[in-house]
Amino acid sequence: EVQLVESGGGLVQPGRSLRLSCTASGFTFGYYDMSWVRQAPGKGLEWVSFIKSKAYGGTIEYAASVKGRFTISRDDSKSIAYLQMNRLQTEDTAVYYCRRDLGCSGGSCQDFWGQGTLVTVSS
Amino acid sequence: EIVLTQSPDTLSLSPGERATLSCRASESVSSYLAWYQQKPGQAPRLLIYDASNRATGIPARFSGSGSGTDFTLTISSLEPEDFAVYYCQQRSNWPYTFGQGTNLEIK
């Protein structure tokens, strides 16, 4: 069974840092692109960042709103994806979801999401 | 950045009725469009990928159509568990973007 478990969220003051982790199980982590998607309270979804599998060069992208402040990385040996968040701003307050890219079997595809971890940036 | 505009913002229907949700892209996304369902306190759930393909385990009452800039999600006969917020999402160009959501509520 595929599982993604986020951790590392919490209350942090503006300007401080936080590192989120996404621990995966039930699949070969290194084969898949991984992403972080966030949702501010009562708002819609925003794709924050993704990191491709090493087979696809490990390409990384960031949303403009976090570029230069957030860093995504992965440790395939531990099946963990990370999101290092620096210089946090109040507008970064959101539930952060970890997402595994589509995997296909028997002619159908599916992605997987964690349960989310809440990051609150406030003084 | 590709902007996705969903309509309507809110759709009020009764169980058993047909729901039609729309998503329009500011430029062509080819068929790289997905639909997600989200219920309060839950992560999004993939319904449709690449415009018209049902994701694993999704009931046949959900269907997607369209290409280029105009897309539709149809729920043929609403079940009580279908009342939720629905998002379209494109992966044609980075940044990947979501529509603002359609709230499907019970009439």
Question: Can you give the pLDDT at residue A105?
Answer: 87
Question: Can you give the pLDDT at residue B54?
Answer: 97
Q: Does B60 touch chain A (CB under 8 A)?
A: no
pLDDT tens for residues B30-41? 999 999 999 999
Residue to mutate among B3, B29, B42, B49, with most A CBs inside 10 A, is: B49
The number of CA neighbours under 13 Å toward the Cβ of A67 is 7
pLDDT score of A116 more than 90: yes
C-alpha span between A71 and A73 (Å, rounded): 7
Please indicate whether, in this complex, the C-beta atoms of A109 and B56 are within 8 angstroms of each other.
yes
B81 phi and psi angles, rounded to 5 deg:
-80, -5
Q: Of A74, A73, A71, A69, nearest to A92 (Cα)? A: A69
C-alpha span between B96 and B94 (Å, rounded): 5
Chain A nearest C-alpha distance from B89 (Å) = 9
Q: Does B55 touch chain A (CB under 8 A)?
A: yes
Which residue is listed with tokens 């058993």? B16
The stretch B74-98 carries a mean pLDDT of 98
By Cβ distance, the residue of A50, A109, A114 closest to B55 is A109
Question: Can you give the pLDDT at residue A90?
Answer: 98
pLDDT tens for residues A35-91? 999 999 999 999 999 999 999 999 999 999 999 999 999 999 999 999 999 999 999
Residue A95: band (very low, low, confident or very high) from pLDDT cuts 50, 70, 90: very high
Please indicate whether, in this complex, the C-beta atoms of A44 and B98 are within 8 angstroms of each other.
yes
pLDDT score of B45 more than 90: yes
Q: Does B86 touch chain A (CB under 8 A)?
A: no
C-alpha span between B107 and B75 (Å, rounded): 16
Chain B nearest C-alpha distance from A80 (Å) = 19
